[in-house]
Amino acid sequence: MREQLLALREPLLQWYDAHRRILPWREEVSPYRTWVSEIMLQQTRVAAVLPYFERFMTAFPTVQALAEAEEEKLMKLWEGLGYYSRARNLQKAAKIIAAQYGGVFPGTYDELIALPGIGDYTAGAILSIACGIPTPAVDGNVLRILARLGGDESDVTDAAVKKRYRAALAETMSRERPDAYVQALMDLGATVCLPNGEPLCEECPAKAFCAARAAGKTALLPVRAKKKARRVEEMTVLLLYRQGKVALRKRPAEGLLASLWEFPNVPGKRSEEETAALLAEQGLQVRDWKKSLHARHIFTHVEWQMQGYALEVMGEGKDDLVWMDREELLAHAVPSAFEKFKKEALEN
């Protein structure tokens, strides 16, 4: 693989100069902008990130501004991107940078990976792209390119394999243009050496010496050990209307979607009778069953299968319920897992 990486270095940079994607965080570069863009891009497509990035930079143009942001405003700006712990970690790290580094981004690998939410890949991207310090940034795209380039059938989900690839890159990557080199690999993975199906080898700067292409094995690489099946969780979500308002509550401070707003829900698929009994225990009486709904949401390790009831209720209800009118609902961030229910509540 080392030979192929050395052979690829210059053609890859030339290819990048001709084909690079124009992206806002590349037009004006700073560690802060690179960091925010890379965190947003985790689990999210570039096209989806673009409007969020612009809005985020307008609202919080500096690390200091992010450190001082109101949590509700931050969550609202993140609404729809999912994986809200990313936003929380951004702010936690911004507070540390503001308090411990006087608002100036730290410039070493060890300092960066000590910050919440910054791992090996993000640290490498910030150092190479925004600080000019050659440091590999190995994500799924890069693992795929390297496995194919070297015709390597090792399991790329194995940490030892990733470590080996990282070492090969550290030794062979461009020292003069680490920013272009790291971004070139990102772009090659996103636009040419595509996952699933056929990579566009004819357009690839590695086509003359790529081992997978020569052996006709591009569809078989990279090798990934089978993932564990997702856990399925069934639940019943309630759209409780009372006097023109709908009930929401905050999720627990720990765990999935921590501290975000949600529509009240209970585990399991409950019948109308069971639901009415549960509500009665909480001091709410059903006046009218309006509608049944169904939705599904897939997280990394869990799949929620949701059935829902929209119903008119009366009574005091528990203290944890917050009754919101349309404007209040619009002003609060509700995770996209509840998207269908929010839409229904807004249309009601």
Binding site for ligand SF4 (CB under 6 A): 145, 148-149, 192-193, 199, 201, 204, 206-207, 210, 212-213, 218
Task: Give min distance, CB of 210 to ligand SF4, in A.
Answer: 3
Nearer CB in complex with ligand SF4: 49/221: 221
Query: Measured from the CB of residue 186, what is the shortest distance to ligand SF4 in angstroms?
Result: 14
Q: Strand, helix or coil at 186?
A: helix
Residues recognised as catalytic: 38
Q: In whole angstroms, give the CA distance from residue 277 to residue 286.
A: 9
The CB-side HSE value for 290 (13 A sphere, CA atoms) comes to 15
Q: Please report how close the Cβ of residue 170 comes to ligand SF4 at its closest, in angstroms.
A: 19
CB 140 within 8 A of CB 163: no
Instruction: Detail the DSSP E strand segments found in 20-76.
Output: none
Residues 6+ apart with CB under 8 A from 81: 40, 44, 48, 49, 52, 87
In the complex, the smallest distance separating the C-beta of residue 202 from ligand SF4, rounded to whole angstroms, is 8
- The helix or strand, by DSSP H or E, that contains position 323, with its residue range, turns out to be strand 322-324
Question: Which of 115, 137 has the CB closer to ligand SF4?
Answer: 137
Nearer of residues 99 and 208 to ligand SF4, judged by Cβ:
208
Instruction: Please say which residue, 44 or 154, places its beta carbon nearer to ligand SF4.
Output: 154
Find out whether 127 and 172 touch, Cβ atoms under 8 Å: no
What are the helix (H) ranges across 60-119?
Answer: 63-67, 71-78, 85-100, 109-113
